[in-house]
A and B are shown apart, each in its own frame.
Chain A
Amino acid sequence: MQPALRPTVPSPQLAIDIFANVSSVIKGKRDELRLAVAVVLAGGHLLVEDVPGVGKTLLARSLARSVDGSFGRVQGTPDLLPADVTGVSVYRKGTETWDFKAGPLFANVVLFDEINRSTPRTQSALLEAMEERTATVDGITYAMPSPFVVIATQNPQEHHGTFPLVEGQRDRFAAVLGLGLPPLEIERALLLGTGGTASLAELRPVVAPEQLAVAIEDVAQVRCDPRAIDYLLALVAALRDHPDVQLGPSPRASLAFLAVARGYATVNAREYVTPDDVKAVASAVLAHRLVLSQGDDLNDASRLVDEVTSTVPVP
C-alpha cells in the first residue's frame, strides 16, 4: 500500500478512507479490498462470488456501511418477486392516490445477497436498474439515487437450488471478486473474537454519498496514457483471439476495464493509470464475461486471463 497521500486530492484520499475502513473488518485480503474499492470508485457494480462462509456478505456490508447513505438489502430466494425489490404502488385512501413505495433497490448502496438464488424474473428487474440507473414500476420510471452501487454475492453455480446469471447480467457487473479462504492467523483472530462481524458494528461511515458521487466523476477523469490504453486493448484482443475463447470481451467490457483500472489507480493514490493497474484488474474485470469453448468455470476463465496477461508484452 502506498502510504502518503496528497491531501489536496480528494478522490484518492477518499479511496484510502474507504479501503482502511473496510480492511479493519476484512483482514488479510488487501488486494481484493483494493479491487472492491476500485470498482466502487469506478461507479461499477460488484459481484462477490465464492463458497459460503468466507465473508462475502461481510465485505458487501462493510463497503455499504462505509458510505453514509441509504442502504438497501435484498436476500435472494426463489420466491422473491421483482416488486419486492423495486417497490410497489400503494393506494392511499385519504388522498385517493396511488403512492409509490420504493423498494430496497432505491438506495445508494444495495446489497443483493445470494443473487443466484432468486428467479431469473427478479434478476432481470435488476438489469434496468443497474444499467440505466432507473426503475420502472407501473409504467412510471423512477431514477435511482446517486451514487448507486449494487454489491451482489453469489455461491458458485454448481450448488443446488440456484438460477445461474445469464451472460447479459454478468456483463452488468463491472467486476467479479472471489475472496478465498483467509489466512489461518486471521481466522484465529476471528475465533478469538477480534475482527469479523463483531467489528462491523463499530464501523463508522467515512464518506458522504455526495462526496462519493463527486469522487466517481473525478475517477472517470483519471489520466490514461495512450500507451496504457494500447496495452489494455492488446489484452482484450488477445482474449478475443484466444482459441479457447468462444466469446471474448465486448467493448462494454473494455469500457468497464478502463474504468476499474482508473479506480485502481486512484486506490493506489495515483492520478494516472499505469500498465500495472491494467494488469492487476484484468482478471476480475474480464474473467466473468468470457464464454469459453470448454469449461465454464470462473476459475478456468481467470486462469486464461492470467495466461494472457503473462504473455502480452507490457509497454
Chain B
Amino acid sequence: MRVLEALKRANASGAPEESVAVRLAVFVAVMSAVFALAAEDIAGTVVTVAAILVIPVGFYISHRYRANDQLALKAGLAVALLVVLVNFLGALGPLAGGDITAVQVPLAEVFLWVQVLHALHVPGRRDLVFGLVASGVTFAVVGVLSLSITMAPLLLLWIVAATTALVLGHRDDVRAVGAIATEKQARLSTDAKAVARIGGVLAVTAAVVFVLLPAASTSRALAFPINLPKIESVASPGGLSNPSLGQGDPQQTSSDSDSTGIESRASFGYFGFAGQLDTSLRGRPDDTLVMRVRAPGPDFWRGQSFDTWDGTRWTLSDDSSRTILGDNPLVIPPTNGDALAVGQDFVATFYLERPGPNVIFSAARPVEVYFPDARLFQLRDGTLRAAVDLGAGAVYTVVSSRQPVTADLLRQADPLVYGVPAPIADVYLQLPDTPQRVFDLAADVTRDAPTTYDKVRALEAWMATNTTYSLDIPTLPAGEDAVDHYLFEAQQGFCEQIGTSLVVMLRSLGVPARLAVGYIPGERNPFTGMYEVRASDAHAWAEVWFPGVGWQSFDPTAKVPLAGESGRLAAAAGLIDWIQERLPSFVDTGMEALIVLGGVAALAGLGVVGVRIIAAHKRKRNRDRYEQHVWRLERLGARCGRSRRSGETLIEYGRRLAESPLRDSDISSFATDLTDWQFSGGDATEERSLDDRIRRIERRHRDLRSTMTALRVTLRG
C-alpha cells in the first residue's frame, strides 16, 4: 500500500512552473545539448532535425498550456516513447555481443528522442529539472564519443544556462516556502551575482580537479572502438598502398619506383610511407590533421621500418609477409629481434582523419590489434599492414607491450657485450660503401662512451651540437652519400638525415640498428586527452637493438621519454603547450614579458590578499565581545536575506529577524539581552551564556537551512 501511495505521490503533477526565466534557461541548456550532438554528428539526421524543430515548439506549448491537464497529449507521448524504446531494443539486436561501446550511439539517439517528446510536456519545475538532467547526460555522451573539442562553446553555454536555471529555480523555491523575499530591484543583480559566484566556484573546482587528476588510462578489459567506413582491398595482399602519395602510391607504380612526383602527392602525404625512403627527396607534408591517437602517454607511432641502406635510399631487404587471421583481437607474434619478455600494456586507439598508407601504426611492440577487417599482414621486421585501404574514419586499437626501459637498463643490456645473434647481424649490420670519414667520426665521437647506450647518446649529442636541424635544405648532389653529405658538407638536415646517420654510424660500430618511419606522438589535446597527429609530425628515426629489450627508438629531435622513465601523465598534461599554441604569434614573442608581468601581477595580488587578510584579522582582534556577537547576528541575518539596516538598533533588528523567516523568538531575546549586557556593563558569567546562546541559535539556523533544503527536495519529488 505504501508503495502505491508513494508512486501516486511521485506521479502527482506539481504546480506549473510560472517563471519564464527558469523555463528559458532550461530551454537553452537542452538546445545546447542537442546542438552538441548535432555538431559531433553522433545521432541520426532524422532525430537531430526533429529535435531542433520540435523542442522550441514543445517548450512554447508546455509554457502556454502549463496549467492544463493534457491527458490526450500525455497518452500520445507515452505511446511515442514506447515506439522509441522498441526501436532502441531493435537497434541493439544486431550489434556485436559484448561490445558496450556499440550501444553508445543508439543510447544517445534514445536520449534525444526522449528530449524531443519530453519537451512537449514540461509544465512543472520537476519536469524542467528532468530536462536539465537529461541534457547533462547528453553532454556526457557527447563528451565520451567526441574526438575533438568542437562542443566546448556549447558546453560553456550549457553550464551557464544550467547554473542560471538552478539558481533561479532555487530562489523561487525559497520564496515559495515563504522564507526569503529579496527586494525586487536588487533581485536581478543578486541572481547574476549568484550565477557568477557559483560559476566561478565551478570553474575553479573543475580546473583544480582537471590539473590534479591523472590522465585516463585504458584497460584491456574494455572493448575498443573499431571502425572501417568502407572496405577496399589493396591490389596485392601484404602489399603497400598509400593513396595520399598520388602517383607515388606504391600500389599503382610498384614497377616504376622513380616517378615519385611531388606534384601529385597530397599536401599531407609523406614520401616515407612507401616501399622505399629516398633521402634525396625533399618536401615536407603540411599541418593537416591526419589522425588522433588516444593513448596513456607519448610514444613513436611506428608504421614501417627499413633495413637496407644504399647511400641515398632505404629499402627493405625482404618485404614478404605472413597473414594474421582471427577474431578481435588479432594476436601479433614477435619477429626478428623482438624481446620475448612480457612488458607493460600500452593501449593506443587510432582515429584516422585522412586517407593514408595501409600500415597499422603502433607503439613498439604491438602484441594485439583490434581491427575490423580481422586480417593483417606482418612483415619480417614486425610492422603491420592491412589488407584494405585505410581512409578517413577508420578506427583501430593496438595493444603494445613496452619494456619499462630506463637508461640504466639499456646500459646493462649492451649488444656489444652480449653479442649480436646471427639473424639480426645478417640484416641489421649491413652497410654500403661509405666514405671512411663517417666511420672515423663515429669511432671518434664514441671513444669515451663505455656502453652502447652511451655511444648512441654521444652520437646524438654530437649531431645536436655540430649540425643544424632544418626543414629547408639543399638537394642532395647526384652521386653523393647522403650521410657523408649531411655530416660533413651541408651540416644541416631533418629527421631522415639525422636518423640515417645515426643508424649508419651505429652499424659501423657493430651495433644493430634500423630506420623506422611513422609519426612522433603529436600534440596532446588536454581536453580530449588525445594526441593530435598532423602530417608534419611524420618522422624517421633510428631503432637500436638491445638484447632482452628489443628494438628501442632513439631520436635527438622528438621529445619522447624512455618507456620506463615516463611518469604518470596528468589529465591536464600539455595544457600549457596547447594554450601557447593558440596564442597569436605576437604574444609568442612577448611571452617572456608576459610571464614576467603575470608573475608580478600574481605577486601583487598575493600581497593585496595578504594585507587584506592581516587587516581583517586585526579588525577581528580589535572587535570586542559585543561587536563579535553583533557581527555574528548580522551574519546570521544576512544569510537569510535580512541584512541589518543602517539606523536599526540591535533590538529592532532582532525583532525583525525573529518575525520571519526563522520564527525564532530566541533571536529577539538574544538581541535584547546582548544589548542589556553591553550597556549595563554586564558581567562575565552572562557573557558566557550569551556565547552559548548565539552558538545555539547559529546551529539551529544551520539545521533549519538544511531542513529547508531537504524540504525543497521532497517537494520537488
Hey, what's the 0/1 contact readout for B623-657 against A, CB within 8 Å counting as 1? Answer: 00010001000000000000001111111100000
Hey, what's the 0/1 contact readout for A269-289 against B, CB within 8 Å counting as 1? Answer: 011111110010000000000
- 16 new A-B pairs (CB below 8 Å) besides A227-B678, A312-B647? A223-B679, A224-B679, A227-B626, A228-B679, A270-B676, A272-B676, A273-B679, A274-B649, A274-B676, A274-B679, A276-B652, A279-B647, A310-B645, A311-B646, A312-B646, A313-B647
Q: How far is the CA of A311 from the CA of B646 in the complex (A)?
A: 5
Q: How far is the CA of A272 from the CA of B672 in the complex (A)?
A: 13
19 pairs from A and B in contact (CB 8 Å cutoff): A223-B680, A224-B679, A225-B681, A227-B678, A272-B679, A273-B679, A274-B649, A275-B675, A275-B679, A276-B649, A276-B651, A309-B647, A310-B646, A310-B647, A311-B647, A313-B647, A314-B648, A314-B650, A315-B630
Q: What B residues does A225 contact at CB under 8 A?
A: 678-679, 681
Closest to A228 in B: B679
Q: What B residues does A273 contact at CB under 8 A?
A: 679
Closest to B652 in A: A276
A-B contact count (CB 8 A): 49
Q: What A residues does B648 contact at CB under 8 A?
A: 314
> A313, B675: Cβ atoms under 8 Å?
no
Q: How far in angstroms is the closest Cβ of chain B from A218?
A: 16
Q: How far is the CA of A314 from the CA of B652 in the complex (A)?
A: 11
Q: What A residues does B676 contact at CB under 8 A?
A: 270, 272, 274
Q: How far is the CA of A227 from the CA of B680 in the complex (A)?
A: 11
B residues touching A (Cβ–Cβ < 8 Å)? 626, 630, 645-652, 675-676, 678-681
Q: What A residues does B645 contact at CB under 8 A?
A: 310
Q: How far in angstroms is the closest Cβ of chain B from A182?
A: 25
> B680, A314: Cβ atoms under 8 Å?
no
Q: How far in angstroms is the closest Cβ of chain B from A31?
A: 14
Q: How far is the CA of A120 from the CA of B691 in the complex (A)?
A: 59
Q: What A residues does B675 contact at CB under 8 A?
A: 274-276
Other-chain contact of B680, A271, A275, A276, A309 (Cβ < 8 Å): A271
Q: What B residues does A227 contact at CB under 8 A?
A: 626, 678-679
* B contact face: mostly helix, strand, loop, or mixed: helix
Q: How far is the CA of A274 from the CA of B647 in the complex (A)?
A: 14
Q: What B residues does A313 contact at CB under 8 A?
A: 646-647
Q: How far is the CA of A313 from the CA of B675 in the complex (A)?
A: 15
Q: What B residues does A314 contact at CB under 8 A?
A: 647-650
Q: How far is the CA of A314 from the CA of B626 in the complex (A)?
A: 13
Closest to B675 in A: A274
Q: What B residues does A276 contact at CB under 8 A?
A: 649, 651-652, 675
Q: How far is the CA of A50 from the CA of B648 in the complex (A)?
A: 28
In the A-B complex, the 4 residue pairs with the closest CB atoms: A310-B647, A272-B680, A225-B679, A314-B649
> B679, A279: Cβ atoms under 8 Å?
no
Q: For chain A, which range describes its interface: under 10, 10 to 19, 20 to 34, or 35 or more residues?
A: 20 to 34
Q: What A residues does B626 contact at CB under 8 A?
A: 227
Hey, what's the 0/1 contact readout for A219-263 against B, CB within 8 Å counting as 1? Answer: 000011101100000000000000000000000000000000000
Hey, what's the 0/1 contact readout for A289-315 against B, CB within 8 Å counting as 1? Answer: 000000000000000000001111111
Q: What A residues does B681 contact at CB under 8 A?
A: 223, 225, 272
Q: How far is the CA of A273 from the CA of B680 in the complex (A)?
A: 8
Q: What B residues does A272 contact at CB under 8 A?
A: 676, 679-681
Closest to A271 in B: B680
Q: How far is the CA of A315 from the CA of B651 in the complex (A)?
A: 11
Q: How far is the CA of A270 from the CA of B672 in the complex (A)?
A: 12
Q: How far is the CA of A312 from the CA of B647 in the complex (A)?
A: 5
Q: How far in angstroms is the closest Cβ of chain B from A273?
A: 6
Q: How far in angstroms is the closest Cβ of chain A from B648?
A: 6
Q: How far in angstroms is the closest Cβ of chain B from A304?
A: 13
Closest to A224 in B: B679
> Taking A223-B680, A227-B679 as contacts, is the C-beta distance between A275 and B649 under 8 angstroms?
yes
Q: What B residues does A315 contact at CB under 8 A?
A: 630
Q: How far in angstroms is the closest Cβ of chain A from B394?
A: 73
Q: How far in angstroms is the closest Cβ of chain B from A224?
A: 8
Q: What A residues does B647 contact at CB under 8 A?
A: 279, 309-314
Q: How far in angstroms is the closest Cβ of chain A from B674?
A: 10
Q: How far is the CA of A227 from the CA of B678 in the complex (A)?
A: 9
Q: How far is the CA of A83 from the CA of B646 in the complex (A)?
A: 51
Q: How far in angstroms is the closest Cβ of chain B from A84?
A: 46
Q: How far is the CA of A227 from the CA of B681 in the complex (A)?
A: 11
Q: How far in angstroms is the closest Cβ of chain A from B281?
A: 83
Q: What B residues does A312 contact at CB under 8 A?
A: 646-647
Q: What B residues does A223 contact at CB under 8 A?
A: 679-681
Q: How far is the CA of A273 from the CA of B630 in the complex (A)?
A: 18
Q: How far in angstroms is the closest Cβ of chain B from A299?
A: 20
Q: What A residues does B679 contact at CB under 8 A?
A: 223-225, 227-228, 272-275
> A270, B649: Cβ atoms under 8 Å?
no
Within 8 A of B (CB), among A108-130: none
Q: How far in angstroms is the closest Cβ of chain A from B637?
A: 14
Q: What A residues does B680 contact at CB under 8 A?
A: 223, 270-272
Q: How far in angstroms is the closest Cβ of chain A from B584?
A: 51
Hey, what's the 0/1 contact readout for A27-60 against B, CB within 8 Å counting as 1? Answer: 0000000000000000000000000000000000
Q: What B residues does A311 contact at CB under 8 A?
A: 646-647
Q: What B residues does A309 contact at CB under 8 A?
A: 647
Q: How far in angstroms is the closest Cβ of chain B from A162?
A: 35
Closest to B680 in A: A272
A223, A279, A315 — which one has the most chain B CB atoms within 10 A of its CB? Answer: A315
Q: How far in angstroms is the closest Cβ of chain B from A235?
A: 10
Closest to A313 in B: B646
Q: How far is the CA of A225 from the CA of B647 in the complex (A)?
A: 18
Q: How far in angstroms is the closest Cβ of chain A from B684?
A: 17
Q: How far in angstroms is the closest Cβ of chain B from A313?
A: 5
B648, B649, B652, B679 — which one has the most chain A CB atoms within 10 A of its CB? Answer: B679
Q: How far is the CA of A276 from the CA of B648 in the complex (A)?
A: 9
Q: How far is the CA of A228 from the CA of B651 in the complex (A)?
A: 14
Q: How far is the CA of A225 from the CA of B675 in the complex (A)?
A: 11
Q: How far in angstroms is the closest Cβ of chain A from B679?
A: 5
Q: How far is the CA of A315 from the CA of B631 in the complex (A)?
A: 11
Q: How far is the CA of A199 from the CA of B675 in the complex (A)?
A: 38
Q: How far is the CA of A311 from the CA of B645 in the complex (A)?
A: 8
> B678, A279: Cβ atoms under 8 Å?
no
Closest to B650 in A: A314
Q: How far is the CA of A56 from the CA of B647 in the complex (A)?
A: 31
Closest to A310 in B: B647
> B651, A274: Cβ atoms under 8 Å?
yes
Q: How far is the CA of A274 from the CA of B681 in the complex (A)?
A: 11
B630, B649, B650 — which one has the most chain A CB atoms within 10 A of its CB? Answer: B649
Q: How far is the CA of A267 from the CA of B571 in the complex (A)?
A: 72
Q: How far is the CA of A186 from the CA of B681 in the complex (A)?
A: 41
Closest to B647 in A: A310
Closest to A278 in B: B649
Q: What A residues does B630 contact at CB under 8 A?
A: 315
Q: What B residues does A271 contact at CB under 8 A?
A: 680
Q: How far is the CA of A272 from the CA of B681 in the complex (A)?
A: 9
Q: How far is the CA of A227 from the CA of B682 in the complex (A)?
A: 14
Q: How far in angstroms is the closest Cβ of chain A from B93?
A: 74
Q: How far in angstroms is the closest Cβ of chain B from A148?
A: 30
Closest to A314 in B: B649
Q: How far is the CA of A225 from the CA of B679 in the complex (A)?
A: 5
Q: How far is the CA of A279 from the CA of B626 in the complex (A)?
A: 19
Q: How far is the CA of A275 from the CA of B648 in the complex (A)?
A: 10
Q: How far in angstroms is the closest Cβ of chain B from A233?
A: 15
Q: How far is the CA of A223 from the CA of B626 in the complex (A)?
A: 17
Closest to A225 in B: B679
Q: How far in angstroms is the closest Cβ of chain B from A269?
A: 11
Hey, what's the 0/1 contact readout for A152-195 against B, CB within 8 Å counting as 1? Answer: 00000000000000000000000000000000000000000000
Q: How far is the CA of A39 from the CA of B332 in the complex (A)?
A: 106
Q: How far is the CA of A271 from the CA of B682 in the complex (A)?
A: 12
Q: How far in angstroms is the closest Cβ of chain B from A307?
A: 9
Q: How far is the CA of A315 from the CA of B650 in the complex (A)?
A: 8
Q: How far in angstroms is the closest Cβ of chain B from A247?
A: 23
B626, B646, B651, B680 — which one has the most chain A CB atoms within 10 A of its CB? Answer: B680
Q: What A residues does B652 contact at CB under 8 A?
A: 276
